[in-house]
Structure formats: C-alpha cells, structure tokens
Amino acid sequence: MLDAVFIFIGLLISLEFYFSLRVPEGHVYHLWRTMPLLLVTTLTALAVSGIYRTILAYAGQDILLQSGISTLAGTGITYLVSLIIYLFRDQIGTNFFLMPRPVYFIQWVITFFLVGASRFLIRYRTAGSRRKEDKETKRILIIGAGYAGSTVIRDIQNGRYGNATAVAILDDDPARQHSSISRVPIVGGTDMVAETAERYNISEIIIAIATPNGDITTLLNDCIGTGAHVMIYSGVREGAEARDVNIADLLGRAEQHLDMTEVHAYLTGKTILITGGGGSIGSELCRQILAFTPKKLILYDISENYMYDLFFELKEKYGELVANTLVLEVGSVRDEESLWRVMGKYKPDVVIHAAAHKHVPLMETSSEQAILNNVFGTYKTAKVAIECGVKRFVMISTDKAVNPTNVMGASKRLAEIIITSIPNKKTEFMAVRFGNVLGSHGSVVPIFERQIRAGGPVTLTDPNIIRYFMTIPEAASLVLQAVSIAKGGEVFILDMGEPVRIKDLAEKMIHLYGTGREKIVCTGLRPGEKLYEELLLDKENDQATERDRIYVAKQDHYDWETVEQMLRELEDTLERHGDIRQCLHKLLPTFREPEKTSP
C-alpha cells in the first residue's frame, strides 16, 4: 500500500533531518521498532476516516482534513505508547523506541504532506482526461440500490446506455449506504440529490425504483431541479430500459391502471362505434379496444386526416386484424342521415360519443357551433342509437360541465342532461367526466412544450389557476370501465387526486424541456375561463362503485318534457341568431360568469 511507503519515508526523513544525516545507531533500532506500531495506528486512522472510500478524481478539502487528522492520530498514539514504555525503562532495562519529540512532529508533517499530495496529484493527473470524459461520457447518478438499480448499473457497464459511466448511487436504506454495487459507491440518501449531482458532475439521473413505497413526485422534482437529464426505470422484464420523464410523471400522483378484465369480457366479439374517433381520446380508445378483439370497430369522424393516420399506425401494430376489424366512416354528428346510414349498416352494440367542440375561448366566440355540435349533435347521435338498437351509449363529458362558466362547459352539461333523461327501453345511457387530458389536441401541455423549445416565453393566463389532469390512457380506460359496469343514467368520474397548479406545471416543464432560463408571462384569464375546476355539482354526492377510484355523480332528475322544451328554446335562439349565452343562463341555473366563481 502506497500510504505505508509514505509513512516509512516520513519517519526516515524526519530522523535524517533531525540528526543532520548522522543518525545514531540506537535510533536506527528505534526506527525499526517504531515502524510497525506507526503503520498500524496511521493506516487504521486513515481507514476509519473514510479516505479509502473517496473517489480520488474529485478530491477536495475533505481529503486534506481526513489526511491531517488521521496521520496526526497515528503519530500521536505512537508517541504516547513510546512515552509510556519509556517511563518503565528501568523495569524493561532499555529505551525501547522513544525518539526525540521533534522527530514525531517532523514525521507527521512529512507524512501528512505525502498522503494529501498524492490524492491531489491523482486528481490533477486525471483532470484532463476527466474533462474529455465530461464532454463525451454521460456521468450517471442512480437513485435506488435494489434490484432495479443493480440492473441499470449492470446494463450501463455492459454498454446498453452507450458511452456512459455510473458514478454514484443514492438509497434511503441505511443498511445499504456506504457500500457499493459493482464498484459504484452508495454515497447517501435521496435527500442528497442536489449535493451529489454537483459533487460528481452528474449529467444524467436514472430513478431506478421498481416498487416505490410512495409518491416519488418530490424526488422527481429534486432530480429535475439539478438540470441533469432525468430518466425513470421501473422495468422488471428482461431487456427493459430507462425511459425519459414525461409530463404524466409530474401529475403529483401515480397513473391509474384500472382492472380491465370485465371490459375485455364485455367488449370481445361486439361491434363498437366511436364518434370523433380520430381525436386524442378516440384514437386511444381505438388502440385499447383492438386489444380486446371486437367484431367490428367503426371510427366516425368529420376529419379524415386523423383517422387515416391512425389506421396506418394500427395496421403496423396489429396487421390483418386492423384490415378485417377497423372501419373508417367520414361524417358529422350533426348529420342525422349520415348517422343513420352508418349505424343502420353496422348495427353497433356500443356507441362511444367522443365528438365535440372542446376549446373554451374559441367556443366563446363560436357559441352557435358549440350548441349545434355538442348539444344537438349529442341528441341526434343518441336518438339514432336508440332507433338502431344500440345496447350501451357512453358520452365523454368534462369537468367544465360542473358549475359552467363558459359556453363549452354549458353545452356539455346540457348534453349530460339529454343522455341521462332521454326516454327509451333499449339503450343504457351514461356519461364520463374528464379533467384536462395531458397531451390531447389543444391542451396546455403541448403548447407549453412548443413555447419552451422555442426559447420562451411560456404564456400563462393566471399564476393561481389550477386544474385536474389525467393521462390519455387513463381517460380511455375510464370510458371503457363505464361501458362495462353501467346500468344506465350514470355520470362517472375518476378520482384524480389533488388539482395541479398550472404555474408549477409550467416551471417543471421548463426544467424538463428547456434551459431553466425561459420566462413565464401571465396574460390574464381568457373569456369563459375560471381559476379552478370542480368535478361534482353542488347538489351531487359522489357514490363509490365496485371499481376502485371510480365514482358516480348523483344528479337532479330532468323529465323529458322539460328537456324537450330546453331544446326547442335553444333551437329557436339559433334560428333567429339570438343571444346564446343569455339562453344558456335561463336554461341552466348553474351557468355563471367566471368572476362569480373564481376565488
């Protein structure tokens, strides 16, 4: 061991220096008698100090402190033992190995210098190569020292992550700390993310926790805050790799994975029609339903481009199943004849009504179109579904239908009233309310991402605005759950946890996609927009279903005569191009202006 050589050299030079290169023969014997004790005490002190667990390429002031205290302890203990034995020299008969005091001091200074300087020499000798490595090699911090973490380290060392090096691990289990996995040290707990990233010049962090005990949002935020590229590994299957953090990871809750066993049993072999099938939710519904091997899946949409792209995406994944199962039909929910043509031809068992105008500011200035599409389009689709013998009909609604403050939300509330009140003995009607769907067309997330990648600014209507969020797969799964458990007349909602402050979301996205220097600019609430959204009406009480985290909203009952009168008043207002907003206020007592609902 090199340190043992330094200790020997320190003692030898100190003797030669003290006696001016003329060491008495007696002290030469003292040197050889003292050396074993000095080696044992000094090396033990160095080991206890932790100096041998330090990565020398990053040696700092702590190395000097460890070297100084450890060598001083070794020299001091050796001197004390020598002195005690010297006091009993009459009984022993000789001065066994005590040397002059200055020799010990000189020896300590020389040994301290050699031990400390050797560490810094290694640091500076590797500085050039490390700078080159920093540019070319990813320096990875692993979060988690369990099975997932060890798998990631093995994959890194086997080259699966390219030109990368695992340099440190963090884990909250005290029993694992200060050990190592495949020569990669476990340097502390997850409360040291920022400190460790700076100390080891980390360029990438992989969160490798296969079965997290709780919410990892705080940990994720800490990792993103370092400015390093953050990835998540949760795969337990062979060949799994870490993935980039996506915006769904920032929800503040775990993504809900609902049990789809009954959904599979119900949909297999059935004919299903999706209006708005080319949209964000319609596309995901199509992806999930195809896995349940339906008899036919009909996409009905006014936009042929989205359906066309989806068809070829699914054909690549499912092959001939798509060609034999998936049918594309172009048409509008406003066109009753077109609806009759399609439903009459395919006789669907299930209709999922996803077609709607959903953009709040645009519908404020195009209120007639919102009513024609969202209200009368829903009515016509439901009417034709009954006449064609559809067994179950589910409409996709929105949290903006609860105490609405905009035309879009009011139109969707009226649509809910229609499908929960329409008289029939053949079709079971239900609705599903969503919060904001991450990544859907026109949602805030892709807008923020586009602004961030362009260098900013990120535009936010109000710093205090909050929203409920769910992912596209969650939204589609909730719709399919509703189809499988509905009895008719329900409005289903999903427990989406706590609402998200949009400014916090924007700040996290800036860390995730940007440089951290992009500015956030507040532009003021848009027409019809409120600071917060609710999931339940004031008079509703959530009722749990047999499915975890899915609830049914209990509502006021509307008789069909009242609903028909509502539709006649709306139709009359449309025909004379009257005040749609005033009409909605009359029909929906819960429809209020934004300033009356925002805190």
Active site amino acids: 400
> Which whole-number Å values give the CA distances from 44 to 64, 69, 71, 249, in the listed order?
17, 12, 10, 47
81, 341, 392, 461 from 346: Cα distances, Å: 99, 9, 15, 45
How does 187-213 read in b/e, with b if 16+ C-beta sit within 10 Å? Answer: bbbbeebeebbebbebbbbbbbbeeee
Residue pair 153/181 in contact (Cβ under 8 Å)? The answer is yes
* Beta partners for residue 166, in sequence order: 140
The Cα–Cα gap between 359 and 373 comes to: 13
Residue type, 565: Q
* CA distance to 237, 410, 557, 590, 598, per residue, from 586 (Å): 58, 11, 17, 10, 21
Sign, CA torsion 474/479/480/484: positive
Q: Which two tokens stand for residue 52?
A: 């041998």
The alpha carbon of 354 is separated from its chain's Cα centroid by a whole number of angstroms, namely 27
Q: Give residues with Cβ within 8 angstroms of 564, minimum separation 6.
A: none
- Per DSSP bridges, beta strands 184-188 and 204-208 are unpaired
Quick one: how far is CA 509 from the chain centroid? 11
SS3 label, residue 300: strand
Q: Which residues contact 15 (CB under 8 A, 6 or more apart)?
A: 23, 27, 31, 99, 103
How many whole angstroms separate alpha carbon 494 and alpha carbon 289? Answer: 20
Alpha helices per DSSP H over 237-328: 261-267, 280-290, 304-318, 320-325
Burial 236-270 (b: 16+ CB within 10 A, else e): eeeeeebeebebbbbbbeeebebebeebeebbeeb
Radius of gyration of the chain (CA): 36
438 phi and psi angles, rounded to 5 deg: -65, 125
Residue corresponding to tokens 């330090």? 54
Cβ atoms of 148 and 209 within 8 Å: the answer is yes
